[in-house]
């Protein structure tokens, strides 16, 4: 594994503390919506937008992963998926239309549909609804390739559940997601313009009832500039645990 300039934090019953001990799941945030999760025997990375991500503190070629999960086809999410998968012999998990497109590029893929779940060697993945578009522009062309429905991921492993909402607006079924799942950690977009802004993300956090909320998809570009600390303060006023992860920081569940 590469060396990270991270601050490592353990999550214990909504309490964060500094630690050097390794627990079940290490979760690293790489900026925008890129999240890496290290299990005992496997590593996955979600939406690996690194090469052109001004927030990233690691290079795509340093990533070692067995699976690459992609929520939708936009360049700031698909990012370095293909070179990471090729270099590591990794399987790409994605919404079915996007997975099919990536398979045409020679990648090993596992396509899934919204509401579907599958048990992988590292844990169970379920695709959730995301209110967003999904397409990809081939470099050097003006062709906009439709890549199916955008999605989020519910990942359950080692007795923990992580919700990565993907790019999405607020939707009422987040309440159902919260009722049906005991979510330990939820990543929610707050950038506004393309996704939920802080106002709607606070409502989403109330519906999800996750033990901890981490904001994502903000400050990468001027149009999605936000104050994540102010968002976390608003969560605290609602008695909801929140935590701002700087790129390269790690928390342990």
pLDDT of res. 21: 41
Q: What is the pLDDT of residues 94-120, one digit of tens each?
A: 999 999 999 999 999 999 999 999 999
Best CA proximity match to 54, nearest among 241, 218, 231 = 218
Q: Does residue 2 register a pLDDT over 60?
A: no
Q: Does residue 140 register a pLDDT over 90?
A: no
pLDDT of res. 9: 43
**112-115-116 Cα angle (round to 5):** 40
Q: What is the pLDDT of residues 10-29, one digit of tens each?
A: 433 333 333 334 447 999 99
CB-based burial, 213-228: b 16+ in 10 Å, e otherwise: bbbbbbbbeeebebeb
Percent of the chain with pLDDT strictly greater than 90? 87
pLDDT of res. 229: 98
Mean pLDDT rounded to a whole number for the chain: 91
Distance between CA atoms of residues 160 and 38, nearest Å: 13
- Using CA atoms, how far residue 230 sits from 80, 187, 244, 247, in Å, is 31, 16, 10, 18
- Using CA atoms, how far residue 124 sits from 169, 173, 184, in Å, is 24, 20, 15
Confidence of residue 167 (pLDDT cuts 50, 70, 90): very high
pLDDT of res. 38: 97
The answer to whether 35 touches 48, Cβ cutoff 8 Å, is: no
- Using CA atoms, how far residue 145 sits from 73, 105, 196, in Å, is 9, 14, 24
- Residue 194 structure tokens: 């393309």
Q: What is the pLDDT of residues 118-137, one digit of tens each?
A: 999 999 999 999 999 999 88
Greater model confidence, 26 or 144: 26
pLDDT of res. 12: 32
Q: What is the pLDDT of residues 206-249, one digit of tens each?
A: 999 999 999 999 999 999 999 999 999 999 999 999 999 999 99
pLDDT of res. 200: 98
pTM for the whole thing?
0.91
Hey, what CATH class is 8-252 in? alpha beta
Sign of CA pseudo-dihedral 23, 29, 33, 35: negative
Best CA proximity match to 45, nearest among 25, 28, 57 = 28
Q: Does residue 82 register a pLDDT over 80?
A: yes
What are the domain boundaries of the chain? 8-252
CB-based contacts of 176-179 (< 8 A; 24+ apart in sequence): 177/128, 177/207, 177/208, 178/207, 178/208, 178/209, 178/210, 179/209
């Amino acid at each position: 594994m590469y060396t990270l300039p991270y601050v490592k934090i353990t999550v214990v019953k909504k309490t964060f503390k500094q630690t050097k001990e390794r627990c079940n799941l290490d979760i690293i945030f790489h900026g925008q919506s890129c999240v890496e999760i290290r299990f005992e025997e496997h590593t996955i990375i979600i939406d690996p937008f690194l090469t052109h991500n001004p927030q990233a503190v690691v290079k795509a070629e340093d990533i070692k992963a067995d699976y690459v999960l992609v929520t939708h086809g936009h360049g700031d999410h698909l990012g370095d998926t293909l070179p990471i998968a090729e270099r590591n012999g990794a399987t790409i998990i994605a919404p079915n239309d996007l997975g099919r497109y990536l398979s045409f590029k020679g990648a090993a893929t596992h396509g899934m549909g919204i509401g579907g779940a599958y048990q992988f060697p590292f844990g169970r993945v379920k695709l959730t609804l995301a209110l967003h578009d999904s397409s990809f522009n081939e470099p050097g062309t003006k062709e906009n390739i439709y890549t199916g429905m955008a999605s989020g991921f519910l990942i359950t492993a080692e007795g923990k559940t992580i919700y990565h909402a993907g790019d999405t607006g607020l939707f009422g079924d987040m309440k159902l997601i919260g009722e049906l799942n005991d979510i330990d950690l939820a990543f929610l977009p707050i950038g506004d313009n393309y996704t939920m802004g802080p106002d709607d993300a606070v409502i989403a956090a109330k519906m999800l009832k996750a033990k901890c909320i981490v904001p994502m998809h903000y400050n990468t570009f001027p149009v999605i500039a936000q104050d994540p600390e102010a968002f976390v303060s608003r969560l605290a006023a609602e008695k909801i645990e929140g935590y701002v992860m700087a790129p390269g920081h790690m928390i342990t569940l």
